Structure formats: C-alpha cells, structure tokens
Amino acid sequence: MRVLVTGGAGFIGSHYVRLLAAQGDEAVVLDKLTYAGNRENIADVSHTFHQGDIADPVAVAKAAEGCDAIVNFAAESHVDRSIMGPAEFILTDVLGTQVLLDYARHHNLRYVQVSTDEVYGDIPLEAAPSTEDAPIRASSPYSASKAGGDLQVLAYVRTFGVNASITRGANTYGPQQYPEKLLPLFITNAFDGLELPVYGDGRQRREWLHAEDHCAGIDLVLRKGGAGEIYNVSGQERENMDVIRGILDHTGASPDLLRHVADRPGHDRRYAIDSTKLRSLGWAPRHTLDGGGLADTVAWYRDNRAWWEPIKSGEYRAYYEAQYGNRLGS
C-alpha cells in the first residue's frame, strides 16, 4: 500500500514511517517541518519526502498523487503551546484536516485521523475509562482543535461518504519525542542536572502508550477499521509523580531537582480510555512503562545526546524561558 503520512517527520509519525517500511509498504511523507519536525527522525528509513503544509491544497495534491490512503499525524500537538497561541492549532488541526479530507473525498482514498484521548476531557477518578461514544469535553485549545478535526472527519463520512476512521491515542512515549513533553523534558533535564518543573501536585493521571504500540493500533485501523468508526488506543494508567520517580531512578538524578511549580491553566486531572473495540480487531500492546518501556526510553536519550542537544539549544530556549522562567523564578 502507498500511504501518505502527514507529520511523518514528527515523533509518532516517524515511528509509523518505520512500521510501513518494515512491512514493505510505501511511505510518502508530507511535513511542514515546524519546530517539532525533524528529517533526521526518518533519515535511515525508505520514504519519499515532501515539505509542505496540510492546509495547502496544492501541496497536498502533489504529495498525495498515487497514494491509496492518508494517515494524518500532522498537528500542532503541545497543550502548553496551545495556551500561549491557539491560532496555529486551528489552522493545522482543523483547517488542515479539512483540506486532507477534501482530497480523500475527491480521489476516493482511505483516511485515518490520528486523534487523542484528550478530547474526552477530565475523567473523574471514580469513573470508568471512556469508550468511543463518550461525549467530547475538550479542556485546552489543543484538545478543542483536535476535537474540531474529529468532527470534520465524522461530517465527511456522513455527508460525502468518505471512508475515514479516527484513532484516539493515550499519552505516547518512546525515542525521538521532542523534549517539551513530560517524559523527554524530564529525562533530558535530569541528565543535565537541571530543575524538573512538576505542574501543581503532580498527581494528575495519564495513560502511557509506547509509540510502537500506538502505531500498530493506527495501522490496524487503517486496514480493518470501519468508516465513521472511532478506536481508542489505551496505555498504562499512572500518576505523574510515579512516572517522575521512575525517571529519577533510571537516570540516577537527585530528587532535589524536583520543583513543584504553578499548574497549567485548565489542567485535566485524569485521562482514561477503554480500548476493547480496538482489541477486538486484534490489537494488543507489546510494551508497558514499568515492563521496560521507561527504562528503554531513558536509555535512548542517554545514548542519543546528539539528537536532543541541538534541539535544546535552539528555538527551544525561548519557549522554555516563556513557559518555565517565571514558574522556576529564573
């Protein structure tokens, strides 16, 4: 199968390009190369590359020509950045999705939208994990933009008969994740002896899903998912402080580096999703955070300073200062 992988130079998209190549499928990558895109992530994997914006119909048409399917990973993906500036999120996550759907509609392509468990919003501690029919209650500009993309997908299925499905994955971790998200931020700060800024009491709960398991779920949905169907891709539920203690253990960093800082505005306490539907298609995760997933991820960052050190000295410095400067009193 020839698959257009949008956002294929980013974190999860690059793992998917690797999966396609390993299966003997053909990957065509369309990526704008924002701060989060890095061609090095797929330098050793067979693919065709187009630099361009998913919100640009000309760029999409050029890249998608001859493809059988589109899997849309391209997004502005970081909640904190969406609080600093929501507009870019609407342009890519909503408008960009609609442009891709138009192409799929007019060229009869299979389409998978890579979405997030964050669209279900805050799940009370005592509540059961959300199934796919739970209401959308997005809390952040990021999750609202992803929810907007999901609604476009469902509308294109119903109105135009597009053969599209949605996956809603949990917090994803693994090699090559840009060091703004919790795991790579704390791992790389720990290696550099820098403070570890914990939002609020750190007792927020998330499900942790390895990038390879996430991609396996997405690929299964591409091949076996139904039109208009949504599939949750769940992970292992953990309190943030447990994960952070695990990072201290695996990096050998001192707990003295921990700083509890002002919480993220609107911060959801818990995400929890039920993936029975995807499991019934045959999906089963191969990694767990405590069964080696965290240790292997820490080891990857230990062995690949040449990947993350240049990132942390560029545009990242201004972002980090704006996000954590006041919080850390630096």
Ligand X SMILES: NC(=O)c1ccc[n+]([C@@H]2O[C@H](COP(=O)([O-])OP(=O)(O)OC[C@H]3O[C@@H](n4cnc5c(N)ncnc54)[C@H](O)[C@@H]3O)[C@@H](O)[C@H]2O)c1
Show the site string, 31-70: x = touches ligand X by CB under 6 A, - = not. xxxx-xx---------------xxx---------------
The answer to whether residue 10 forms part of the interface with ligand X (CB under 6 A) is: yes
Specify the stretch interacting with ligand X by CB under 6 A; choose among 9-17, 18-26, 197-205, 247-255: 9-17
Q: Which is nearer to ligand X, 142 or 324 (CB)?
A: 142
Q: What is the torsional sign of CA 32, 33, 38, 44?
A: positive
Strand order in the sheet with 205-210: 171-173, 205-210, 236-239
**Options 118, 150, 180, 207, the catalytic residue:** 118
Q: Rounded to the nearest 5°, which phi and psi values hold at 284?
A: -145, 125
Active-site annotation holds for 142? yes
Q: Which is nearer to ligand X, 36 or 162 (CB)?
A: 36
CB of 196 within 8 A of CB of 235?
no
Cα–Cα distance for residue pair 253/59, rounded to 1 Å: 45
Which residue in 16, 120, 142, 156 is the catalytic one? 142
| Binding test (CB under 6 A) with ligand X, winner from 82, 92, 189, 323 | 92
Nearer to ligand X, 199 or 328 (CB): 199
Give the nearer residue to ligand X in terms of CB position, either 48 or 326: 48
Distance from C-alpha of 78 to C-alpha of 84, rounded to nearest angstrom = 10
- Phi then psi dihedrals of residue 116, to 5 deg: -140, 155
> Is 76 considered catalytic here?
no
Rounded CA separation 263/242 (Å): 17
Report the residue from 18, 146, 238, 287 that binds ligand X according to the rule CB under 6 A: 146
The C-alpha angle with vertex 95 and arms to 230 and 157, in degrees rounded to 5, equals 35
Dihedral angle computed from the Cα positions of residues 198, 264, 209 and 44, in that order, rounded to the nearest 10 degrees: -90
- 45 within 8 A of 21, measured Cβ to Cβ: yes
Q: Does 84 engage in binding with ligand X (CB under 6 A)?
A: no
Contact between residue 134 and residue 169 where contact means Cβ atoms under 8 Å apart: no
Instruction: Name the residue among 272, 284, 278, 171 with its Cα closest to residue 230.
Output: 278
At residue 98, the 3 state secondary structure works out as: helix
Could you tell me which stretch among 2-10, 277-285, 302-310, 318-326 binds ligand X (CB under 6 A)? 2-10
- Shortest approach of ligand X to residue 96 CB, angstroms? 5
Examine residue 13 and tell whether it contacts ligand X (CB under 6 A): yes
CA proximity to 248, closest of 300, 205, 196: 196
Q: Which of 121, 169, 174, 225 binds ligand X (CB under 6 A)?
A: 169
* 188 part of the interface to ligand X, by CB under 6 A: no
184 interacts with ligand X by CB under 6 A: no
- Size of interface with ligand X, in residues (CB under 6 A): 31
Interaction residues for ligand X, span 96-135 (CB under 6 A):
96, 114, 116
DSSP state for residue 264 in the 8-state scheme: P
- Respond yes or no: is residue 301 known to be catalytic: no
| Smallest distance from ligand X to CB 256, Å | 28
Q: Provide the annotated active-site residues.
A: 117-118, 142
Q: Which residues bind ligand X (CB under 6 A)?
A: 6-7, 9-13, 30-34, 36-37, 53-55, 73-77, 92, 96, 114, 116, 146, 169, 171-172, 178
